[in-house]
Amino acid sequence: MKLKSFFKGELVRSASIIFLAGLSSNLILFVANLVIAKVLGPDQFGIFKTIVYLAGFLPLLIELGINATLTKYIAEFGKKKEKIGYLVKNFIKLKVLTYVLLIVLTLVFKDELSLYLLKDASMSYLLLPAILLMALSFFSIFQFIVLGYQKFKLFALTQFLSFSSAAILGILLSGFGIFYIVLGWSFGTLIGNLFNIKFFFEKEVIKKSKEFDIKKIFVRFSIPIYLTNIIMNSFNVIIPILSIFFSQKIIGYFSFAFIFYFATMLIPTSISSVVFPKVSELNGLKRHKDAKNILRKAFSLYALVMIVGLLLVMFLTDWFISIIAKEYLPSSFMFKVLVSFGLVFGFNTIYVNYLQGLGKVKRFALFNLIQNVLLFIISFALLNVAS
């Protein structure tokens, strides 16, 4: 495979668009987190990140594999508009019901959540904007519909708007405290999905609908993917769980380092956003050799990224942190370990999305489980050392 022809491939072009949009929005997110961390201080910053990550994890408990199913089967059905319409219509109805249940339960138990996670029941009012954040995250379903149609430019644009809008609103409201920061964060997620909603109605996705047996899809793909997605996205609950055992100051230092772990996953996630629907399409056409070729190209591209990333982490971490946020230098060791872990396991991120596109749910679950169990163990060990 010639390097020149590789870089002219569709995989690289599409991934580059998503990567550039993700990179720019994550730079804005980094600045937002840095500003908020400076304004709040380590203790309050730990509380802020606990709330935000909790709001990111709870919707996963009722997601039921809907998002991944829509992306996979819209891509796989191709021009079968009636089947797409029926699938989307029923899955949207199901998602509305689950979100209503989640919001009601969170409102009922907000005092208990505040007591165990924030160690103070009187801070339960901080969970109100978090509940709004969860409610507005419902609209992310349209993002996965867009990705199923392989509209990568639109997907990249809305990803950028979601992250950057949340970050900018968070910065603007940072002087007013955690409540208003999370409030602004929540509206940012809605802003980013407005173009996806517009695409959905212009495309008239559910206008043509023909009934078929979606129960088989739900049982064989959605539910297994739902269980594995909880494992895959369990990083959202790591900080809330760790906050039970460690001081908010230590959680604040860890949260700062964890920002960079998340940023490290941007590149393999961007590549995976193309690999998943493309492999789904090729799988539907029974072109399995072409699907493997997509994976091989993705690995070749990411290998260069990982090598450069590890060298930068090894030699420039302390200098980097001292320049951008000197008060967080105590998190230097956490930074090195978490970022290196993220770089190495970027291969796993790409591979599990390849498996997801092929519908190989058991192997998908296994590789996700390994990565996230290791991440949790490493995180717990790092905080033990720091304390």
Q: Which of 161, 162, 164, 167 is nearest to 181 (CA)?
A: 167
The CA-atom distances, in angstroms, between 96 and each of 62, 139, 198 are 10, 10, 19
CA distance 215 to 241: 35
Query: By C-alpha distance, which of 244, 256, 109, 114 is closest to 179?
Result: 114
pLDDT for the residue numbered 6: 40
Longest dimension (CA), the chain: 62
Q: What is the DSSP string of 253-287?
A: HHHHHHHHHHHHTHHHHHHHHHHHHHHHHHHHTT-
Alpha-carbon distance 158 to 121, whole Å? 36
What is the helix, strand, coil percentage profile of the chain, to 5? 90, 0, 10
Which burial class, exposed, middle or buried, applies to 249 when counting CB atoms under 10 A from its CB (0-12, 13-18, 19+)? middle
**Token pair belonging to 223:** 């539910």
Residue 177's pLDDT is 87
Tell me if 362 sits within 8 A of 223, measured CB to CB: no
pLDDT at 15 (0 to 100): 56
Q: Which residues contact 232 (CB under 8 A, 6 or more apart)?
A: 352, 368, 372
DSSP 8-state symbol, 387: -
* CB neighbourhood size of 254 (10 A): 27
* pLDDT value, residue 105: 93
Q: What is the pTM of this model?
A: 0.73
CA torsion angle 119 121 125 128 (round to 10):
80
pLDDT of residue 7: 41
pLDDT (tens place) for every residue of the chain, 387 residues total? 443 444 445 555 555 666 676 667 777 887 888 889 888 877 888 889 989 888 888 898 888 888 888 888 888 887 777 788 888 888 888 999 999 999 999 999 988 888 888 877 788 888 999 999 999 988 888 888 888 887 877 887 888 888 888 888 999 998 888 899 999 998 888 888 888 888 888 877 777 767 777 888 888 888 887 887 787 777 778 888 888 888 778 888 888 888 888 778 878 877 776 777 777 777 777 777 888 888 888 888 888 889 998 999 888 888 888 887 777 888 888 899 999 998 998 888 888 888 877 877 778 778 878 888 888 899 999 888 877
Alpha-carbon dihedral sign for residues 23, 24, 27, 32: negative
Distance CA 372, CA 380 (A): 12
Burial 276-310, CB ≥16 within 10 A → b, else e? bbbbbbbbbeeeeeebeebbebbeebbeebbeebe
**137 Cβ partners below 8 Å, 6+ apart?**
55, 56, 59, 189
What pLDDT does 268 receive?
86
The DSSP code for 329 is G
Cβ atoms of residues 386 and 248 within 8 Å = no
Between CA 92 and CA 204 the distance in angstroms is: 14
Helix (H), strand (E) counts: the chain: 18, 0
